[in-house]
Structures are given as structure tokens and as C-alpha cells.
Chains A and B, each alone.
Chain A
Amino acid sequence: MGKERVAVVGIGQTHHTAVRGDVSIAGMVREAAQRALDDAQMTWADIDAVVIGKAPDFFEGVMMPELYLADALGAVGKPMFRVHTAGSVGGSTAIVAQDLVASGVHRRVLTVAFEKQSESEAMWALSLPLPFQPPMHAGAGGYFAPHIRAYMQHSGAPDHIGILVALKDRRNALKNPYAHLHEADITFDSVKDSMMLWDPIRFSETCPSSDGACALVLTDEAGGDACAARGGNPAWVHGTAFRSEPTMFAGRNQVNPRGGNDCAADVYRQAGITDPRREIDVVEMYVPFSWFEPMWLENLLFCEEGQGWRLVEDGVTRMDGDLPVNCSGGVLSSNPIGASGMLRFAEAALQVRGHAGEHQIDGARRALGHAYGGGSQFFAMWVVAADKP
């Protein structure tokens, strides 16, 4: 039995913000899902199954929220799956949904990911003291800052690279009405002078805490053809890959993790890509702290190890560069954690559909969506294109 071709025919997201006080979690996920259905020109009845993902339940303190959200997502009486791979979950969730279509199990799958950080205490939940250890943990920033320092030292990257990435992403966000942060008067100096939270990470080089959700409608080839016939510009999935590795083992490279390398190589192979720098038109990668852009450029094989910062410095990753990264403003401008990975996948699909609005890259035909999570140990990626595989 051949693999079914999979199309993204509906994309929805909420306006990400610090506090969605007007809706519950259920109202928020339904809003994103309804927008994806509207985009797909479908109703709840057209959906065969729902796949949902979010970051750890301990964030909002609602255990197994998929059970209570089944109603809001029209999943009563239908198969519903929950995915959990820490920060990469939004990407992994989309991949599980696409697998259900590619395998022929379902024809039309709705997939949703969310986080309501205003109802949560993520810093605390990520800093629980470990038994018999000093209480040193200080959230994700405290975990990643030493690895960023190691990258800076090893690659010889100048200090301003992180500032350039933050400035680029926040300015890109001005073109994205859904982005949480719209900092019209941000400048190089305002980033540079912002507080060092976890030295070497500054406040303005750090993602915000957001409430938000993202949803996609995935269909089989017939669904994609129908979408194309009505001018809906489906995005076709050309490859998907997951990888994971343990948090700790001797010799582990946390700056350029093997899991991310292998995941990228796998997804490029599936998509028939041999030179990602030339063959991919636009990238949405998971950059919660600005320095991860140069680090992931290397991990995702866009350049040699130690050279990622030069691409940033040369403007290659700006919207007018030859490899635009995070035109949506990225995680640095909106971080509803569980949804952040799916937003990367969704934004990649928006680009190849030509539906990215003001942050559209003209003529984008092929895009990479990337997510990572845990201690740089869970990876999820997809390649989507305007043309069928």
C-alpha cells in the first residue's frame, strides 16, 4: 500500500497575547480550530479525528486537558489523540496528525496545540528542585544560557549577533497581526541595554509568555486537490521527522545536538533536498532565545559548524536575505509554549500557500518548519511545498 499524499488545507491561530482573560482554555482552542475549519471551508462534521498537543500539564495544573477539551473541539464520538514532547510538542502533534492521513487511517484530521501561560506558572514548573541536589534551577533560560555561552566562546561569535536576531524577529512581528509583541520602537540599543536575565541572555533576547493556540486541517490527496480546485492553495507535506536523545550522557553536544542533525538529514532526504541553503526558500525555526538562530542554522545543516552567526551578521536570515528565518516574528515574539512548534509548522505552510500576508516571502515554494523541546533533546520537523511531492 502506497503512502497517501497529505495536504494542509486549513490554518488557524489566535491573536497571541499575555492574558486572554475573555476566554477559557476551551474557548481559546475552539477559536483557533474554528478559524482552521473556516479556512478549509469545512464544518466540525467533516473532521474524522482530532490530535491535540500541549506542554506539561503541570503548567496550567489541568491534568489530561484533552479529556475536557473533546467537547470544545467537536471530538465527542471521534478518535482523539494527545501528544506530549515538551516544547517540540506543537510540531510532533502536527506530525502525528499527518501520519494518520498518510497511513490512510483517516482522510481529514484536525490538529490543535495550545498554552495558556497566564493561567500557569511555567518558570516555577520548570524549576522544581531535584532530590539531593542544590536548588539551582532557574527555568529554561537558566538551562540554556550556559550552552549559549559555550557556542559564543567556541564559534568566536561577537556579542551583537544575539541582538541582531532579536531585533530582526521583533521587527518581523510588526508585519504579523497575530504576534504577541509589537514593539514598534525597538532598537539595537534598547535590546543591548535590556537587563541580563541569565547572563549571557538579555531580557529582549528572550521569548515572552503568551496565551495562544494554533490549529491545522490536514487532508488526503483528494482533499488537497479539492482545495486547489477552489483556489485554496494547499501546502503539500514532503517530509516529516522526529528525533530524541537523552538529557544527559557523556560527550553529549548540547550546542549542536546529534538528534537535531539526524532529524534534519532525514527530513531533507524525504523531501529530496541535497542543498538546504539553496533549495529551501523560507524557514520557521524554534528560537526562544535569540542565540538559537545561529546555533540551529548549523544544526539544521544550512552552513558549516561555527558559521551560523556569519549568516546572521550578513543579513542572510532577514526577510530580504536569501534564507529568511522567522518572518512571523517567531517564538521570540509569541510563545504559547505548546502551540509554538505548531505555529512554526503553520507559518511554513502559510508561506508556501502565499497566505502569509505582510510577512509573505514572494514566490516561496518550499519551507521548513522546526521545533525543539526539553533540554535540546526532542526534535520535530516538516518540509512543505506549493507543489505535490
Chain B
Amino acid sequence: MPELVLPDRLRGVEPVRSIRTPARLDYEFTAGRATSRFLRGVAEKRLLGQRCPVCRKVYVPPRGACPTDGVPTEEEVELGHTGTVTTFCVVNVQFYGQAMELPYVSALILLDGSDLPIMHLLQEVSADDVHMGMRVEAVWVPDDEIEPTLESIRYFRPNGEPDAPWDSYKDNV
């Protein structure tokens, strides 16, 4: 291989081993019929799931079909704004692009009447006091700030009810 001859002004300069090149990907997201209905419901402060006609499980947010039975889920079910923490973790790790303030409690919350937990933020409680089975309620953004996104629920907080028994959520962990 031929020897690379650098101009005088570059001699003695530390060689470049790598460069950082940020990548970005912009895309249009089409929510689809079922999720659009759900998001429009959120904009009215309602949580709408869909029930599978075969296994009777309620999906929220609905995707329009049951992944187990492969059939459309057309029956709409309105859910309450309370639920159970099926499990959770306390995130304490900093990384590039992170949007949340540390530490935060990331919880899987099974909304009452549904069969698949959603991941959301848990606040107004010390991380040490969070536990599986804890009963929680949604805290919404002010009415004039509600948009068709799950971010319209600012977070969940304990609602003071006694813990849900393990058997009531053990299939949804």
C-alpha cells in the first residue's frame, strides 16, 4: 500500500479514528381504523377497548384483530380510568436521546375490564412504595390540552384502594 504523505500542517495531529454521525428517520404513521377510534376516544377522555368474539379478551389500545384467534375485534368496550400495576421497574439509567427525568417508575398497568397491560408512568408515590397489585388511577392533562395520544394521561397514581389479589392479574404479567 502506498505511504500516505500528509501536508506539514497536519503532521503530529491526532489521527481520526471515528466520527459521530447522527441518524434520523422521519416517517408518516397511519394509526389504522381501530387505533384511530381509540385515539379519538382519548381526545374525549374516554378509553375504548375492543373485545375478541372468540376468546372474549379485551384489547386496549385495540389493533382491530385478536393476535391469538386472527379474527376482527369489532365489539367496543368502554374501560374505567383505574387499573392494577401488574409489574414495574424503576429506570435509573441515562442514555442518548432519553426524554424522561430520572429516576422514573415504568409500570405495566392492567386497566379494569381489559386483558393486556399498557406501559405507563407512575407518580405521586415513592419508588420504594410501588408494588405489584397496587391499585392506580389515571391523571389527565388539563382538558384544553387533551390530544389524541396516550400522553394525554400525564401519569397514573395510587388511588388508595386495597391491593388487587395476585390471581386477578397473574395471567397479565
**Which A residues contact B (CB, under 8 angstroms)?**
21, 58, 61, 118-119, 121, 123-124, 127, 129, 131-136, 138-139, 141-142, 145-147, 149-150, 153-154, 195-201, 246, 248-251, 253-255
Specify which chain B residues have a CB less than 8 angstroms from the CB of A200 in the assembled complex. Answer: 89
| C-alpha spacing A205/B107, complex, angstroms | 21
Chain A residues lying within 8 Å of B23, measured Cβ to Cβ, are 58, 61
Chain B residues with a Cβ under 8 A of chain A: 17-18, 21, 23, 25, 29, 31, 35, 39, 52, 55, 57-59, 66-68, 86-93, 95-100, 103-104, 106-108, 115-116, 119-121, 127, 132, 148-151, 153, 170-173
Nearest opposing residue in chain B for A133, CB measure: B150
Q: Which residue of A lies closest to B91 (CB)?
A: A138
Cross-chain contact A124 with B97 (CB below 8 angstroms): yes
- Given A61-B21, A133-B150, A134-B120, residue A149 in contact with residue B93 (CB < 8 A): no
Can you give 24 contacting A-B residue pairs, CB < 8 Å? A21-B17, A61-B21, A119-B18, A123-B95, A133-B119, A133-B150, A134-B150, A136-B104, A136-B119, A136-B120, A141-B89, A141-B93, A146-B106, A149-B88, A150-B87, A150-B173, A153-B87, A154-B170, A154-B173, A196-B92, A198-B91, A250-B171, A251-B171, A251-B172
Which of A61, A119, A149, A195 is the most central at the interface, judged by chain B CB atoms within 10 Å of its CB?
Answer: A149
A139 to B100, CA, bound (A): 13
Which residues from chain A contact B148 at a C-beta distance below 8 Å?
Answer: 132
Taking CB atoms, residues of chain B closer than 8 Å to A129 are 99
Min CB distance A22 to B, Å, is 9
What B residues does A21 contact at CB under 8 A? 17-18
- Asked if A138 meets B95 with Cβ closer than 8 Å, knowing A200-B89, A248-B67, the reply is yes
Among residues of B, the one whose C-beta sits closest to the C-beta of A199 is B90
CB closest chain-A residue, reference B106: A136
Could you tell me if B98 and A246 are in contact, using CB atoms closer than 8 angstroms?
no
Given contacts A132-B151, A154-B173, A199-B92, 4 further A-B contacts (CB under 8 A): A136-B121, A138-B91, A142-B106, A149-B87
CB-CB under 8 A from B170, the residues of chain A are 154
From A153, which residue of chain B is reached at the shortest CB distance? B132
Given A21-B18, A249-B68, A133 and B172 contact (CB-CB distance below 8 Å): no
